[in-house]
Amino acid sequence: MADSTQAQAQEFGLRKAPTSNSKATEEVSSPSCFRHPSQDPAGTETRDSPTMEALTTQLNEAGRISGTDSLVAQDKSRVDLHPTKQGTTAFDSRSTNGASLTYEAKQHGTEDGVPPPRAIERTTACTSGYIPTSGPKEQPYTNMNDVAKVDHVEEAQRHDQTHFMAVPIDVLPPNADIPEYDMHLLNLARHADPFRMLGCHKVECAESDKRIVVVRVWLKNVDHVELRPRAGVSDWRLPPPLESVQLERKGELLFHKASANARAGSAFEMYTTDPSASSRGCPVKSSDPYVPLDYELLVRGEGEETPRVVYDTYSFGMTVPQYNLELFQSGSCWHVDNLMGSHIITVDGVTGVRFAVWAPNCICVSVVGDWNGWDGRAHPMRKRVEFGCWDLFIPGIGAGEKYGYRIHARNGTDFIKIDPYAQEFEVPPKTASIISACDDAFKPAESRYQWHDQEWMARRKVLGETDQLHREPMSIYEVHLPSWMRGQDGRYLSYRELADRLVPHVKNMNFTHVEFLPLAHHPFEGSWGYQVTGLYAPYSRLGNPDDFKYLVDTLHQANIGVFIDFVPAHFCKDSWGLVYYDGEPCYEYADPREGEHKLWGTAVFNYRRNEVRSFLLGAAYHWLRRYHIDGLRIDAVSSMLYKNHQKKDGEWLPNEHGGDANLQAISLLQELNWVVHKEFPGVFTMAEESTSWRGVTDKADGQASALVHPTAPSLESSRRLGFDAKWDLGWMNDTLSYLCCPVENRRKCHNKLTFRGLYMAHERWILPLSHDEVVSGKGSLLDKCGYLGTPFEDRIRTLKTLYGFQIGMPGRPLIFMGGEIGQGREWKDNRSVDWHEGEEELRKKLCIWVSDLLGLYKSQPALHAGDDETWNFKWTDCDNNNDCIVAFLRSYEFWFNDILVVCNFSPQAYYRYPVGVPHGGEWQLLLNSDDWKYAGGMCGRGNGSYIHTTQGGRLGWPYCLWLDVPGNGCLYLKAPQPSAEEKKRMISESQRAKEPADREGKTGDAGPKDQPEGSS
């Protein structure tokens, strides 16, 4: 059985257990396991099989014990392995440095020569991540999506009866004392391996039949310490009448009159009851020479009369399994939010907080916080050397505690850093991390946030799986939450308060989605959230994580999707943040030519390090899973793709192939999109990319295999990033610069309106009128709709035409907050939108125009369903630069869906203006920006009227519409409609025609069907 166990250990990538006579055996041995070394007559230990101690240690650390098995040691004794309650993950402190008292034990046997079995309770491994080929097994559409891959930890099972009795001894060997040098390092908070000194440890004894164990307890602000077994949990007891053992105080004071170090001053002889002799009630000595014990401490501080029960931090074992750290080190740990950071868990029935942080280069890390006075000496952490991670379980603390990590760097400096994985932070300018009470992954189901968006999530998943998301309307309202609306005297509104105001406004405006400027925690509000420090925490100034969940939930219940800006390109350089995290470059590139963005004054993430990749990818997954976010807009993609982005010669380093592409960043973006689309069907990803990089929205076939070697030369030519859409910044700049020209000069730059047709087919697009164009001295959109001296009324009319042009063009429209009311001032992040301006008559009518436009956009398939096919867009008039008029046709599937859009960017109205169209008959005027409804002068016909075509087209079209086009105005017209029976017939025939193509795996032509006779 030992051989099969060893094979099982090796199967999961564990190290091979050393043989019993090797030096390594003593290094991995711990009170958590049973050791039964058999010796030959010469006294030499055998090498047949690995020790039971080493095998059980490795299996327990990996959490791979399952079922009820028996391990047979070299001396033929048996250890039964029983799993705990299925579905829970119970960590047993005996897996590493478990707490044990000093005892003396002698070998014995039962009548049949087989010692009684000893049960060890374990469960399957807790898994904080997965390789992105299988995905998490989560219950869909429910709050189960928020459950951590590490299940909620419950108390380990125990036997009711007492197995052992510990008899104290009075004399300790000299080597039981802690070395003075180690004591000195602990008092300086510079000990690299505190678990080697603190907790329960074996002490070498000259007498071979004795096992001596010393317990060292490291406590602060304590004068008196006693140690006793845990009632109802520990399987050992002290001999009557002893109930506890007092520990001796030793060494320097940790803080004032605190007990800096205490050690057990007793030894114990262990007894157990042999089942065969139990009827006689005769105690016999245990055959187990090394048995782990649970204990608790009774402590009193200065002036305290009643002792209180505490638990020794250093009596608990490793609570972060090795398999999870290996996944973290691989660069694809998407559940890293459950692995790193602070989480409230229960270990051996004791509730506390598990801390884990990655700091590979430093000497020592301590957890500091309110509970220990921010004293770095109080809670030094255990280092997992091969992974560069530090972890510690601290019992007795809980949610709401502020904390940080005190780091002692290799250069001798000491400083406090935030937790990069913290899910809550103090409100700026304070910087402490907070143990979150909203960490649903580690909470029982009944106490998690209860979502009510199951219908929305189910529909989103279906749209993603059927590849119909790109056919859905997507009009986006871009919002900076801290400045969208303020309370009295500029008070910040909370997420919950904003939900009650934002949802009705967005719904009334007919937007389908909102996009929030970065909400990951950031210290400087003037950065608008783009200089981040806490990628796993929502902005604390507006509320806690549950408050933000409420906002998203409320939007979903109103059928409004939620996008967020995600910033994996750079981070702020505040000294308490991520920069030089452990005293050396850690999250950033070491060479400033790679690791610094001088223009922005920020540091660049090191995409070459797998741990940084896990950090970034895990953050994206965290927002999608924890907060049900529907899409990510990746900021500053150009700075990720190009190593020389906005850098001069000599300020950047070429890649390993001599080029300027950042191959590691490319592979990270590809992996981000691949896994997001695989694990979250229906989630939409967007790139803010301002260069001519081709393939931003192309899906790469076989992309997963390429991710295995992110620096492979093949990726130099693989430019397909896998986004769903790209921001068309070129269209935004061209259009706004055109509108800023005086009317007499616009005819010279008319191509700015039409140039987009040359590249429109290359990608899938978002058409933004974003925050970037209404800040930093650029003025508001209203300012851009004219030039010096342009009347206010003309600016409002031009702005209405701009929105008509934007929503009519192929691409998903995005409008920044305040634009819907024509805000006069440019945006400032420290004040609210000027909502009072929306009460003015012209601005109120502008708001109605935008609402009607977006309502039409949602209801007419031609305006949204065919955005990504080139044949669904046709210019009908694009060369009339003298009159500043453009006209184009939007189509989808059937000819009767066609929409004609006419935009006039001059103040001159044109009567009986001819526009060529493909279909004869009555075209319905759906919207006229000069209608009285929108405070217009009613040039031409009003909304809902019909206009007949004439024979003899214009510019090659077979029919002609003679339209009255208002100055600075916009018209939307719909093609003639067949009878209901004829429409039904055409739809039915089209569906039948699609079926053979679908069976053959062909998509067919999505162009107009069954055009009327004489049309082209």
Domain residue spans of the chain: 1-96+120-134, 164-315, 351-445, 729-974
Catalytic residues: 635, 688
Q: First and final CA of the chain: distance in angstroms?
A: 80
* SS3 label, residue 40: coil
Confidence at residue 872, expressed as pLDDT on a 0 to 100 scale = 94
Contact of 862 with 874, CB cutoff 8 Å: no
- Both tokens of 641, joined, read 């793709």
CATH 3.90.850.10 fits 729-974, yes or no: no
- On the 0-12 / 13-18 / 19+ scale of CB atoms within 10 A, 13 is exposed
**Paired sense of beta strands 350-358 and 341-347, if any:** antiparallel
Among candidates 949, 335, 926, 904, which has minimal Cα distance to 617? 335
Give per-residue burial for 388-422: e unless 16+ CB within 10 Å, then b: bbbbbbbbebeeebbbbbbbbbeeeebbbbbbbbb
What count of Cα atoms within 13 Å lies in the side-chain half-sphere of residue 693?
31
Residues in a beta bridge with 82: 121
Output the CA torsion 676→678→682→685 (10° steps): 30
- The single-letter code of the amino acid at 745 is N
Q: How far apart are CA 367 and CA 403, in angstroms?
A: 7
- What DSSP string describes 344-389? EEEETTEEEEEEEEE-TT-SEEEEEEGGGTT-TTT-BPEEEGGGTE
CATH 3.90.1170.50 fits 351-445, yes or no: no
Low-confidence ranges of the chain (pLDDT < 50): 1-160, 252-291, 701-717, 1002-1005, 1013-1016
Whether the pTM exceeds 0.85: the reply is no
Confidence at residue 164, expressed as pLDDT on a 0 to 100 scale = 64
Is there a common fold for 351-445 and 729-974? yes
Q: How far apart are CA 976 and CA 1014, in angstroms?
A: 14
Sequence-distant (6+) residues with CB within 8 A of 113 are 76
Give per-residue burial for 574-599: e unless 16+ CB within 10 Å, then b: eeebbbbbbbebbbbbeeeebbbbee
Q: How far apart are CA 940 and CA 928, in angstroms?
A: 8
Contact of 172 with 216, CB cutoff 8 Å: no
Output the CA torsion 938→941→944→950 (10° steps): -160
Confidence at residue 224, expressed as pLDDT on a 0 to 100 scale = 85
- Both tokens of 578, joined, read 């991520």
Sequence-distant (6+) residues with CB within 8 A of 224 are 246, 259, 299, 300, 307
What count of Cα atoms within 13 Å lies in the side-chain half-sphere of residue 323?
24
Q: At what angle do helices 322-330 and 52-62 cross, to 10 degrees?
A: 60
Distance of CA 472 to the CA centre of its chain: 26
Q: How far apart are CA 81 and CA 64, in angstroms?
A: 11
- How many residues comprise the chain? 1016
Q: How far apart are CA 563 and CA 475, in angstroms?
A: 11
- The single-letter code of the amino acid at 82 is H
Kind and range of the H or E run holding 463: helix 454-465
Tell the CATH superfamily of the 164-315 domain: Immunoglobulins (2.60.40.10)
**Paired sense of beta strands 631-634 and 684-687, if any:** parallel
Confidence at residue 4, expressed as pLDDT on a 0 to 100 scale = 42
Contact of 31 with 202, CB cutoff 8 Å: yes
Q: How far apart are CA 431 and CA 428, in angstroms?
A: 6
Among candidates 619, 410, 450, which has minimal Cα distance to 549? 450
Confidence at residue 29, expressed as pLDDT on a 0 to 100 scale = 32
In eight-state DSSP terms, residue 458 is: H
Sequence-distant (6+) residues with CB within 8 A of 866 are 810, 872, 873, 890, 891, 892, 893, 1006
- Both tokens of 616, joined, read 């970034």
